[in-house]
Amino acid sequence: MSATNISVSSSMKIKPQISCPHCWHEFPTDQILFISESPDLLGDPKLGDADQLRFLPYRFSVDRAAYDAHGVSCHKLACPNCHLQIPHPLLHMPSFFISIAGAPAVGKSYFFASMVWQLRKTMTRDFCMNFTDADPTLNQRIRDYEMRQFMGGYDPEVPVAIEKTDVQGDIYNNTLINGHLTSLAQPFSFTISPLPSYPFPKNANNVTQAICMYDNAGESFLPGADNAAQPVTRHLVTSDVILFLFDPTQDTRFKNACKTIVNDPQMNPALGGDVRRSKVNQSTVLTEIITRIKTQLYLTTQEKIKTPIIIVLTKFDAWHQLANFPHYKNPWQRAKNYPTSVYDVNYVNEYSQRLRTLLLDLIPDLVGTAEANAEKVTYIAVSATGTAPEVGLPDQDGKRPLLYRPASIKPVWVEVPFFHAQTLTGKYCVPVVTKS
């Protein structure tokens, strides 16, 4: 096994041009605004009375903070187009954008929380890297999800649930763009940087990255949901990779193919529980996503999207019997003579082929839609929880929620779509083996 080159060219200097993770406006970095901190400068023309004024500074302190009009030193940055806050690392680190997409209730939020939770551990333990929040305040929601899903508010035996992602509320920011009130999805930003134990110090700058991810409500991907006032899924057009989450437990063909009884209320209605389901065929949702991207990029029907699409098959714990993968071990292993692991692309591609064969049999329209429209398609099966939810007691509306005991959650392969996304785009942050 040999580690291939980690081929990212970067420098830790401030980038001349950056792309706003909220509105995707590209602008020269010297146009970036500062956010005032003086309490007397409350009120911004684009964001409203409750937000601090944004301003283009002309006076700086020696530590490069900007002084606002009342002489208070300010550190937070904002986009000149939408005035929303931009985390500092995006200014000097190469960025990597990931869209998490899929119909309602396919498991996007559980997957997102598990992926981030696992990446924080795996990057440190197996790759000598630190995966952390670019700005903990802006990532509050994902931190809450992780806390609930894995710590259960400090009692891992008390059953919990992550709520459905809303189509409005605090993960959207309202601002004026070209004079029109516009609702934008909140990006979640992280940084990846080498730890002192990282064995390739000369490469340290090259593997440092800022990661932005988006977790929308499934309804935002349904046909007709995207419009100029709520372009909440436009990140699909600018992202480096799209993770399209497909939930086999919502597909009748998959459910019928499972011969043995499954201990999951989503597969077995006899167990009770109020299971949320999408009202549309999930392949139609993929068609809608592809149509949105092609429309924005002015691509013809025949042209393929260059952005890689990873079809992430969720809730693997509920249907693994169909795939029959007895050796589904993590696709990375410790490199000889180094304290870091190496990610095995071939291993993941081999399982992708096996899943493709299964899907061709059960859901050929999904394979057809993806491969007819995207240049690179990979299939990865994951479980955000590793186990089925349990059915809780009826709430005041008589509904029986699906809950998890945090102590029982054991994610499977949730980091893999992230690592694989990087290999598909050439922006490696971990050593990769491509040939055995």
Among 165, 278, 341, 423, binds Mg ion (CB under 5 A): 165
Among 32, 185, 212, 217, binds ligand GTP (CB under 6 A): 217
Q: In the complex with ligand GTP, which residue's Cβ is closer, 29 or 183? A: 183
Number of neighbouring beta carbons within 10 Å of residue 31:
13
The residue range among 5-13, 15-23, 106-114, 182-190 that interacts with Mg ion, by the rule CB under 5 A, is 106-114
Tell me: does residue 317 bind ligand GTP (CB under 6 A): yes
- Render 370-391 in DSSP notation, one character per residue: HHHHBS-EEEEE-BSSSSPPEE
Tell me: does residue 216 bind Mg ion (CB under 5 A): no
Q: In the complex with Mg ion, which residue's Cβ is closer, 141 or 356? A: 141
Size of the site for ligand GTP (CB under 6 A): 25
Tell me: does residue 265 bind ligand GTP (CB under 6 A): no
Tell me: does residue 105 bind ligand GTP (CB under 6 A): yes
Among 194, 218, 308, 406, binds ligand GTP (CB under 6 A): 218
Number of neighbouring beta carbons within 10 Å of residue 201:
9
Query: Locate tokens 């999951």: which residue?
Result: 264
The DSSP code for 201 is: G
Tell me: does residue 277 bind ligand GTP (CB under 6 A): no
Q: In the complex with ligand GTP, which residue's Cβ is closer, 250 or 340? A: 250
Q: Which of residues 118-177 bind ligand GTP (CB under 6 A)?
A: 162, 164-165
Return the biggest CA–CA distance within the chain.
71
Q: Which of residues 13-32 bind Mg ion (CB under 5 A)?
A: none
Size of the site for Mg ion (CB under 5 A): 3
At its nearest, how many Å lie between Zn ion and the CB of residue 33? Answer: 10
At its nearest, how many Å lie between Mg ion and the CB of residue 143? Answer: 16
Please report which helix (H) or strand (E) contains residue 173, including its range.
strand 172-177
Whether the Cβ atoms of residue 398 and residue 279 lie closer than 8 Å to each other: no
Query: Locate tokens 């598909």: which residue?
Result: 424
Q: Which of residues 366-385 bind ligand GTP (CB under 6 A)?
A: 383-385
At its nearest, how many Å lie between ligand GTP and the CB of residue 406? Answer: 13
At its nearest, how many Å lie between ligand GTP and the CB of residue 383? Answer: 4
Q: In the complex with ligand GTP, which residue's Cβ is closer, 141 or 234? A: 141
Separation CA 337–CA 273 (nearest Å): 51
For 81, the 3-state DSSP assignment is coil
The residue type at 111: F
Whether the Cβ atoms of residue 368 and residue 287 lie closer than 8 Å to each other: no
Among 192, 212, 402, 416, binds ligand GTP (CB under 6 A): 402
Among 81, 95, 99, 109, binds Mg ion (CB under 5 A): 109
Pairing, β 341-344 against β 332-334: antiparallel
Distance of CA 16 to the CA centre of its chain: 26
Whether the Cβ atoms of residue 36 and residue 74 lie closer than 8 Å to each other: yes
CB-based burial, 255-294: b 16+ in 10 Å, e otherwise: bebbeeebebbbbbeebebebeebeeebbebbbbbbebbb
Number of neighbouring beta carbons within 10 Å of residue 433:
19
Binding site for Zn ion (CB under 5 A): 20, 22-23, 25, 79, 81-82
At its nearest, how many Å lie between Zn ion and the CB of residue 86? Answer: 7
Q: Which of residues 14-43 bind ligand GTP (CB under 6 A)?
A: none
Q: In the complex with ligand GTP, which residue's Cβ is closer, 197 or 263? A: 263
Q: What token pair was written down for 179?
A: 């004079």
Q: In the complex with ligand GTP, which residue's Cβ is closer, 108 or 420? A: 108
Report in angstroms the alpha-carbon separations of 380 from 121, 366, 374, 419. 21, 14, 16, 11
Residues near ligand GTP, by CB under 6 A: 102, 104-110, 162, 164-165, 217-218, 264, 266, 314-315, 317-318, 383-385, 388-389, 402
Residues near Mg ion, by CB under 5 A: 108-109, 165
